[in-house]
A and B are shown apart, each in its own frame.
Chain A
């Protein structure tokens, strides 16, 4: 009799949990030298382009200003020689120029006026618009009213009640604050009464249609307001920006505008030591605009001014021209992203090309879990790559700008953090999306092309103004490229007229940062679901 002992391998059974699957996929990823090199290339290219952009920004030359590529007029005449950045009380860049008819206010008090008219014809030198031409919304944010301002330094704290050409009565303070009051345009038949009351640090704004019934629009604290402040009437009108884009080039034309407002029933109460009004243009009016002036006849004041009291907007067509925020220096993300997308594609398509997919699926027959593990591994690797790329770029670019004496358009640190984390998230989800595409089409070249055509090309078309601005904005709403909104550095202010396009280097996106990211996530989820479905249905 022979007894058989069944052979048992001394090796313990491997477990087939999800962590093991993740570990296996991670091992596959990290042991392919080319993929690791690809990720390092992504970091280097992104940071390298950032460095190049800072180096190229450091010395804006005036000589080439007029002869620009593709017929582009990128800067107004005022842009030559980089105007210094003016910072507001919150540390944000601002523009602060207007015509001010003022008196000191030494302590608490209030000022009340009636506004009977606000007109904003272009100066007659520019023949494109005539006086009385009522094209709506042209300079709908030209404004006039009353203001209490810390001092005559540009960028100092203020609060103002104003009528605007197209946006009714507003209370605005410290450049970024804006609250609506009475709606409708001002006219002799429908005048607007405005009042500002100062009590210590608090300034309260009221409006009224008849001078009898008053409504409080807002009360704001201007921290550290000195006892003696400047108060009075003002008028200002931002430049009218006309922009046309076509195919990699665009034209931005600026026209100076002037607002003229008529005030009467000016009354003051409280501590007003002076008895006469002083008129003067505060700040420098934009490129060649007339400084404005005022005229007093009886109790009636006619004040004309040009400029704006508002946050500055970066971008070649806007007030913050010559100073770019840190987000611009992340433009190399596109190059890094392409490298990551190539790796993400191969992470799946290499399995098909080498036949490894059959082993993978034999070992882990639950195919959905294989895809999930792969998506997590490539997503995490891409996230780390994106994080490193963006952090390196931000740190190096900031440091280099410092060394070169180039002053960037400052952004608050939470925004900087969002730019870095957002870039990482964008790269990570784009990689997962690409992995799904690779699973669906199985072929490397087709998958890379599909990923690039859906993510990079829409961004390219909109960003370089290759398609009309309208089409570009839609591309950045519905395609996965919407996620590039995460790289927008500065907010869009509804109370500032500016060129808020993705193209021409303005760097604005139609969707809010995380909303844009959600669009990409939606695409990625859809693609992963379709990929999981196909992976289950089709033979490998």
Chain B
């Protein structure tokens, strides 16, 4: 007779099983693969188009420029994360899921881990391809040593920070989206909310004429602050340091996940 498993062992096994179950759900959805491919394709296309249209100008940041596509590709990553939970609500699957896994926080944590992991994977591919595109195309657009630009290289500290930071950025966007979707449940509303949160701050910041407010909007916007991580030129002039900026996005993601967790815990599915 085997000894009864201890409390911590039980919870460890429950975690592993939840993770496995959630992974099976995500893995077997056709949309997951398509969305990941779409995120990579959109990111790389926009990045390549941006570098191909670039012209040398003072203050232009080649690393940032070659990662422009993140700003479009993040929309697809957000959908991937939104669907991970809102699909369950739209099909009624959530009731089965919660019956099988009554620990709701564990469920959300498992989803967060998987969605974040998928975003990291898609982000790594997209960022590598974007940096490669920048490395290949930019010298032809005049970004040469003669004009004071080094070749984009992941061996270069700031460039590496921009690239790795962009991958982390996508993972945090996925977590933010998962949190929002858990809170509002409906996929269309969640998608609209997340994308409005992302794109509204920079648009309003672009028109507000008051420098003070502009700075504040950029500091608190999840996208504007998070993308400070891509800066390699004029880093000192930024309202926040790159890692602080990513920290602001992490706070947004944490806030959304906590809100989602509370709604999941206290509201009937």
| Residues of chain A at the chain B interface (Cβ within 8 Å) | 34, 38, 49, 52-53, 56-57, 59-61, 64-65, 67-71, 74, 244-251, 316, 322, 324, 328, 331-332, 334-335, 338-339, 341-342, 345-346, 349, 353, 443-449, 452-453, 456-457, 459-461, 463-468, 470-471, 503-505, 507
Number of interface residues of B (CB under 8 A): 60
Distance to closest chain B CB from A331 (angstroms) = 4
> Which of the candidate stretches B69-77, B101-109, B166-174, B258-266 sits at the interface with the other chain?
B69-77
* A334 and B199 form a contact (CB under 8 A): yes
- On whether A68 and B211 interact (CB within 8 A), knowing A246-B59, A247-B64, A445-B187, the answer reads yes
Does B251 belong to the interface (CB within 8 Å)?
no
* A452 and B191 form a contact (CB under 8 A): yes
Distance to closest chain A CB from B36 (angstroms) = 14
* A251 and B58 form a contact (CB under 8 A): yes
* A445 and B59 form a contact (CB under 8 A): no
Q: Can you give 28 contacting A-B residue pairs, CB < 8 Å? A: A38-B189, A56-B209, A57-B209, A60-B209, A70-B238, A71-B237, A71-B238, A244-B55, A250-B59, A251-B59, A324-B209, A331-B207, A341-B192, A346-B186, A445-B79, A445-B83, A452-B75, A456-B199, A457-B75, A460-B199, A460-B202, A467-B53, A468-B50, A468-B54, A470-B53, A471-B53, A504-B206, A505-B207
- On whether A467 and B49 interact (CB within 8 A), knowing A244-B60, A445-B191, the answer reads yes
Does B208 belong to the interface (CB within 8 Å)?
yes
Closest A residue to B61 by CB, please name it.
A246
- On whether A322 and B224 interact (CB within 8 A), knowing A247-B68, A460-B202, the answer reads no
- Complex alpha-carbon distance, A464 and B217, angstroms: 13
Distance to closest chain A CB from B29 (angstroms) = 12
Distance to closest chain B CB from A268 (angstroms) = 47
- Complex alpha-carbon distance, A68 and B236, angstroms: 11
Closest B residue to A247 by CB, please name it.
B64
* B206 and A452 form a contact (CB under 8 A): no
Closest B residue to A74 by CB, please name it.
B211
List B residues 158-210 near A (Cβ within 8 Å). Answer: 186-192, 195-196, 199-200, 202-210
Question: Which residue, of B55, B58, B200, has the highest number of chain A Cβ atoms within 10 A?
Answer: B200
A residues within 8 A CB of B206? 331, 463-465, 503-505
- Complex alpha-carbon distance, A60 and B204, angstroms: 16
- Complex alpha-carbon distance, A38 and B186, angstroms: 13
- Complex alpha-carbon distance, A467 and B49, angstroms: 9
B67-99 interface bits toward A, Cβ cutoff 8 Å, 1 = contact, 0 = none: 010011001101100110010001000000000
For A324, give its contact among B49, B200, B207 (CB under 8 Å).
B207
Distance to closest chain A CB from B118 (angstroms) = 16
- Complex alpha-carbon distance, A470 and B209, angstroms: 24
* B68 and A334 form a contact (CB under 8 A): no
For A457, give its contact among B59, B72, B79 (CB under 8 Å).
B72
Distance to closest chain A CB from B206 (angstroms) = 5
- Complex alpha-carbon distance, A335 and B198, angstroms: 11
- Complex alpha-carbon distance, A248 and B199, angstroms: 12
- Complex alpha-carbon distance, A194 and B60, angstroms: 45
* A247 and B192 form a contact (CB under 8 A): no
Does B267 belong to the interface (CB within 8 Å)?
no
B residues within 8 A CB of A345? 188
- Complex alpha-carbon distance, A49 and B202, angstroms: 13
* B75 and A49 form a contact (CB under 8 A): no
- Complex alpha-carbon distance, A334 and B206, angstroms: 13
Those 8 A-B pairs whose CB atoms lie nearest each other, nearest first: A244-B57, A342-B192, A444-B188, A445-B187, A471-B53, A71-B234, A64-B211, A56-B213
- Complex alpha-carbon distance, A291 and B203, angstroms: 39
B residues within 8 A CB of A64? 211-212, 215
Distance to closest chain B CB from A503 (angstroms) = 7
* A335 and B59 form a contact (CB under 8 A): no
* B50 and A349 form a contact (CB under 8 A): no
* B200 and A244 form a contact (CB under 8 A): no
Closest B residue to A62 by CB, please name it.
B211
Distance to closest chain B CB from A280 (angstroms) = 33
Distance to closest chain A CB from B57 (angstroms) = 3
A residues within 8 A CB of B71? 457, 460-461, 466
- Complex alpha-carbon distance, A52 and B57, angstroms: 33
- Complex alpha-carbon distance, A529 and B65, angstroms: 37
A residues within 8 A CB of B140? none
* A69 and B239 form a contact (CB under 8 A): yes
* A448 and B191 form a contact (CB under 8 A): yes
- Complex alpha-carbon distance, A456 and B75, angstroms: 11
* A244 and B210 form a contact (CB under 8 A): no
- Complex alpha-carbon distance, A467 and B64, angstroms: 10
A residues within 8 A CB of B187? 443-445, 448
* B207 and A507 form a contact (CB under 8 A): yes
B residues within 8 A CB of A445? 79, 82-83, 86, 187-188, 190-191
* A342 and B191 form a contact (CB under 8 A): yes
- Complex alpha-carbon distance, A245 and B58, angstroms: 9
Closest A residue to B228 by CB, please name it.
A70
- Complex alpha-carbon distance, A246 and B76, angstroms: 23
Does B241 belong to the interface (CB within 8 Å)?
no
A residues within 8 A CB of B233? 71
A residues within 8 A CB of B227? 248
A residues within 8 A CB of B82? 445
Does B22 belong to the interface (CB within 8 Å)?
no
- Complex alpha-carbon distance, A86 and B204, angstroms: 27
B residues within 8 A CB of A328? 207
Does B153 belong to the interface (CB within 8 Å)?
no
- On whether A353 and B90 interact (CB within 8 A), knowing A341-B192, A449-B191, the answer reads yes
Additional A-B contact list (17), CB under 8 Å, known A338-B195, A468-B53, A470-B53: A56-B209, A64-B215, A246-B61, A250-B59, A335-B196, A339-B196, A342-B191, A353-B90, A445-B86, A446-B79, A448-B188, A452-B75, A453-B42, A456-B195, A461-B46, A468-B65, A471-B50
Closest A residue to B196 by CB, please name it.
A338
- Complex alpha-carbon distance, A297 and B30, angstroms: 85
- Complex alpha-carbon distance, A322 and B210, angstroms: 9
